[in-house]
Amino acid sequence: MLAHGIKFGKTVGIISPAGCDDAEIINKKISDFRNLGFNVKVGAHVFDKYGYLAGEDKVRAYDLMNMFIDDEVDAIVCFRGGYGSARMLPYLDLGVIKRHPKIFCGYSDITLILNYLYKKLGLITFHGPMVKSDFSDLTTRDSFFNAVMDRSCNYKIDLNSFDSVQVHNTKNISGKLVGGNLSIICSSLGTPFEIDTKDKILFLEDVNEKIYSIDRMLTQLNLANKLKYCKGFILGNFTPNENDMKEHNFTLNELIAQKILPLRKPTIVNLPFGHEHQNITLPVGGSVKIDFEAGLITPVKEFVL
């Protein structure tokens, strides 16, 4: 299911499905986002604080549902992640969302909502920057615009433009993208909201996790057969835990060599998405082709109308 792409001057709904923030930060970041060229409509409970959450579960779900229903809102971008999306998922009305498909973008804790809406409704959602993100970074901003504005036929990721990117098992593949934050994906296993990776290209990122935790989570995905049946992997930013520099640790590359590469699937490592300033946008449920010879990721079909 495709949503209509947005244009400058259109209205973006801003919600907080997870963590809360101070009003001063919220206002500053919303102002910055508006300066990108959009009108904004702020959810009624974005400024709420309920412990570490941006309001109680039902009111966070209420804000999201209202943005889907509101005909003035052309797209929905989350303010921030943190924690809490899982708590409000049972209160979403999938029938209403299906009747009002819109661009929906976020990452980190929002991973759960992105993949759930695609899995249940076929709605292509977007793993990309949030209102609190750094849109002054040109790579982040341009990728977001190319993914969600107007038609997505101009969407392209040039692997050759990133010095840190590594590729392995370089067989060209096409498939639908799913994925996001590794720890959130693992937390959904065994629930109605768990990710479906069969015949998909799985992308993963995480922040501030120790190497042994990343090892444990990749092992969990493997034991749950989530790695075995996917077509390939795209690994993004794994921002290290600053206290995880012990002498006998594996490096992240060593862990990838142990856990991912033996599966002999096409793999991209160090693509800049996730919890860093360069955070390119990836369409969850979007069909893409990975051409390793050209070093390009391009759409097979459009993501937005």
Instruction: Summarize the confidence of residues 113-118 as an average pLDDT.
Output: 98
Domain membership flag for residue 240: yes
Domain membership flag for residue 65: yes
> What pLDDT score was predicted for residue 154?
78
214: helix, coil or strand? helix
72 is known as an active-site residue: no
**What CATH number should be reported for the domain holding residue 46?**
3.40.50.10740
Domain membership flag for residue 213: yes
Residues 23 and 140 in one domain: yes
150 vs 256, residue with greater confidence: 256
Q: What is the pLDDT of residues 55-77, one digit of tens each?
A: 999 999 999 999 999 999 999 99
Q: What is the percent of the chain where pLDDT is above 70?
A: 98
Q: What angle do CA 270, 238, 281 make, to 5 degrees?
A: 65
Domain membership flag for residue 294: yes
Catalytic residue among 108, 133, 143, 152: 108
Domain membership flag for residue 96: yes
Domain membership flag for residue 175: yes
Supply the angle between the helices 252-259 and 211-223 in degrees, to the nearest 10: 10
Total domains in the fold of the chain: 2
Closest CA to 1 of 70, 144, 106, 101: 101
Residues 131 and 47 in one domain: yes
Residues 180 and 140 in one domain: no
Which residue, chain included where needed, has tokens 């012990």?
Answer: 246
Residue 129 has pLDDT above 80, yes or no: yes
Q: What is the pLDDT of residues 266-301, one digit of tens each?
A: 999 999 999 988 999 999 999 999 999 999 999 998
Q: Pick the last residue of a domain from 153, 188, 208.
A: 153
Q: Pick the last residue of a domain from 134, 153, 172.
A: 153
Q: What is the pLDDT of residues 145-171, one digit of tens each?
A: 999 987 666 799 999 999 999 999 999
**What CATH number should be reported for the domain holding residue 275?**
3.50.30.60
> Which residue range(s) make up the domain with 183?
157-299
Q: Which residues contact 91 (CB under 8 A, 6 or more apart)?
A: 57, 58, 61, 62, 65
Beta strand segments in 30-147, E: 39-42, 75-78, 103-106, 125-127
Domain membership flag for residue 2: no
What is the average pLDDT value for the chain, to the nearest integer? 95
8 A C-beta contact, residue 56 and residue 50? yes
- What size, in residues, is the chain? 305
Q: Show the DSSP H helices in 53-99 as ranges.
A: 57-69, 85-88, 94-99
8 A C-beta contact, residue 152 and residue 285? no
Q: What is the pTM of this model?
A: 0.96
Residues 196 and 290 in one domain: yes
Q: Which tokens go with 118?
A: 């695609």
Domain membership flag for residue 188: yes
277 is known as an active-site residue: no
Catalytic residue among 45, 194, 205, 209: 205
275 is known as an active-site residue: yes
